[in-house]
């Protein structure tokens, strides 16, 4: 039996194709003071393991900063350390301010979650989704849609994550049924439904996801996304040589930046460190660029580069 689900590889396409439709309503929905979204930021780190149970949603904002949006049932210290590690990689690559906002499904007692590790402090903003009454919002949206009133579409796609006594898969189905009643073209409604499903991915089983994608409206969208993914793959194959050249250029740039960092901290590089950096993979170089702040000696650098 064919599995009608969108893989993690295609999630970026779903967001780029759909999220742009209502990007300017994010601050209103989150009830957080922040600039509007300019674009979806497709970010991939080769050293970060990705799977369908964990997505990192990143967006460039109007003031040049980056919005890092996370969804969690509960927030733990381990989660914060993971987010902080990811944000450091983002900062290392773009050197722009990072705003991390966590959508907490079960709620959190404070609007700010942080930790202080001495020389390193990390702060996030928590949006307590349990404060949002899902049933009440469902009725409110239903009335507005019936009366053809203007709504914030983010209230629809995030509706299943709001407080409710129903199971997540049922919430998603009811939300998609509501989206289908919108006075809009089918592609727009399919985009809403796709985002609704994708944003709930980490809280649903594979069986639930397959069931949702088999919906009469979503099979067509799935095939569309799959076709776009294949088209993108063919295009990437045609320019593979150019991409390899860009990767090599990026590696060389990363090596030069790391060498400047080491020179600024320890003085002139000795030949051993220089040779090890030239032989190192990009992931190793990026990791060391982050660790250089806490590295106390050149022998530590050599040890890290050799292992």
pLDDT at residue 28 greater than cutoff 70: yes
Task: Please name the residues in contact with 69: beta carbons below 8 A apart, sequence gap of 6 or more.
Answer: 57, 58, 59, 100, 101, 103
pLDDT of residue 291: 74
pLDDT for residue 188: 86
| CA dist., res. 141 & res. 86, Å (int) | 35
For residue 281, name the pLDDT band (cuts at 50, 70, 90).
confident
CA gap 224, 201 in Å, rounded: 19
Per-residue pLDDT of 231-268, as tens digits, reads 555 555 554 444 454 445 566 777 777 787 788 778 77
**What pLDDT shows up at residue 48?**
44
Q: How far is CA 72 from the centre of its chain?
A: 12
Of 17 and 238, the one with more pLDDT: 17
66 in helix, strand or coil?
strand
Query: At CA 100, angle to CA 97 and CA 101, rounded to 5?
Result: 145
Q: Which residues touch 13 (CB under 8 Å, ≥6 apart)?
A: 225, 228, 229, 232
Distance CA 270, CA 263 (A): 10
Winning range, highest mean pLDDT, from 39-48, 52-61, 287-296 = 287-296
Which tokens hold the place of 77?
A: 């210290």
User: What integer pLDDT is reported at residue 247 of this predicted model?
Assistant: 47
Kindly report the number of other CB atoms within 10 A of residue 45's CB atom.
16
Above 90 in pLDDT, residue 182? Answer: yes
Ordered strands of the 66-72 beta sheet: 37-40, 57-61, 66-72, 98-104, 121-128, 112-116
199 token code pair: 């944003």
Q: Which residue, 39, 40, 36, 43, is CA-closest to 93?
A: 43
Instruction: Please tell me which residue, 292 or 13, carries the higher pLDDT value.
Output: 292
Task: Report d(CA 256, CA 254) in Å as an integer.
Answer: 5
Contacts of 158 (CB under 8 A, 6+ apart): 29, 103, 129, 199
Nearest to 114 by CA among 62, 164, 79, 74: 79
Residue 123 pLDDT greater than 90, yes or no: yes
pLDDT: which is higher, 243 or 6: 6
Residues 29, 55 contacting (CB under 8 angstroms):
no
């Amino acid at each position: 039996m064919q599995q009608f689900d969108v893989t993690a590889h295609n999630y970026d396409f779903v967001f780029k194709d759909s999220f742009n439709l209502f990007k300017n309503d994010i601050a209103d929905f989150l009830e957080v003071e922040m600039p509007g979204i300019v674009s979806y930021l497709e970010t991939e780190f080769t050293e970060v393991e990705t799977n369908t149970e964990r997505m990192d949603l990143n967006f460039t904002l109007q003031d040049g900063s980056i919005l890092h949006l996370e969804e969690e049932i509960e927030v733990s210290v381990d989660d914060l350390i993971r987010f902080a590690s990811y944000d450091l990689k983002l900062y290392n690559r773009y050197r722009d301010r990072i705003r991390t906002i966590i959508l907490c499904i079960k709620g959190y007692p404070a609007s700010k979650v942080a930790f202080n590790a001495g020389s390193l402090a990390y702060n996030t903003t928590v949006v307590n989704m349990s404060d949002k009454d899902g049933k009440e919002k469902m009725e409110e949206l239903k009335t507005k849609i019936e009366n053809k009133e203007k709504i914030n579409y983010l209230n629809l796609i995030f509706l299943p994550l709001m407080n409710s006594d129903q199971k997540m898969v049922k919430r998603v189905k009811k939300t998609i049924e509501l989206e289908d009643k919108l006075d809009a073209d089918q592609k727009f409604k399919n985009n809403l439904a796709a985002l609704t499903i994708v944003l709930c991915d980490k809280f649903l089983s594979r069986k639930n996801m397959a069931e949702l994608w088999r919906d009469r409206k979503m099979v067509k969208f799935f095939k569309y996304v799959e076709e776009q993914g294949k088209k993108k793959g063919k295009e990437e194959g045609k320019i593979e040589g150019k991409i390899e050249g860009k990767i090599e250029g990026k590696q060389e740039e990363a090596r030069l930046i790391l060498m400047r960092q080491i020179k600024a901290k320890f003085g002139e590089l000795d030949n051993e460190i220089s040779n090890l950096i030239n032989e190192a993979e990009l992931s190793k170089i990026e990791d060391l660029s982050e660790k250089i702040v806490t590295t106390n000696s050149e022998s530590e650098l050599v040890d890290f580069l050799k292992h």
